């Protein structure tokens, strides 16, 4: 069972120390950077992803202030290398989407990924995300309408 838990003084270092596989490091910012970044943007939420009592990943979402009107974005998402291939990514993303779908005023969510991250492309497409035709910071932007 996947749970999205708050990041606290007790677990932030463990979350910060999670790493993706070596060939995926260019696909996502380090968690410690994301944790720090979240403190400067109103409405951004960060969560530790747990499978039972095991910490397996990290996710961050919130309104993106660059867009006008603001768009809800999943800013970061990762499953630690040693926990990939177990279905945790799909389950965690679905849990996040369920949470966002229930928020008043949120009718869509955006995210982006590196063009050569074929695993992310497959996952997001299978969850219903569709390409927007936008490319931002060299990444493909996709959108899921609720």
Average pLDDT over residues 99-107: 94
**What distance in Å separates the CA atoms of residue 107 and residue 61, rounded to the nearest whole number?**
14
Per-residue pLDDT reduced to its tens digit, 39-85:
999 899 999 999 999 999 999 999 988 887 889 999 999 999 999 99
**What distance in Å separates the CA atoms of residue 141 and residue 143, rounded to the nearest whole number?**
7
Residue 137 to residues 2, 54, 115, 142, Cα–Cα distance (Å): 31, 33, 11, 13
27 pLDDT tier (thresholds 50, 70, 90): confident
Domain 2-145 fold is Aminopeptidase (3.40.630)
Taking every pair of Cα atoms in the chain, the longest distance, rounded to a whole number of angstroms, is 41
Is the pLDDT reported for residue 107 higher than 90? yes
């Amino acid at each position: 069972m996947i749970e999205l838990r708050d990041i606290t003084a007790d677990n932030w270092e463990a979350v910060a120390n999670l790493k993706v596989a070596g060939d995926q490091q260019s696909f996502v910012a380090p968690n410690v950077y994301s944790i720090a970044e979240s403190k400067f943007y109103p409405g951004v939420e960060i969560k530790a992803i747990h499978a039972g009592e095991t910490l397996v990943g990290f996710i961050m979402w919130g309104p993106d202030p660059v867009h006008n009107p603001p768009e809800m974005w999943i800013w970061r998402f990762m499953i630690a290398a040693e926990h990939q291939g177990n279905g945790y990514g799909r389950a965690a993303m679905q849990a996040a989407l369920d949470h966002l779908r229930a928020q008043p005023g949120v009718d869509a969510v955006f995210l982006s990924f590196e063009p050569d991250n074929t695993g992310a492309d497959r996952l997001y497409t299978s969850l219903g995300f569709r390409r927007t035709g936008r490319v931002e910071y060299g990444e493909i932007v996709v959108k899921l309408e609720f």
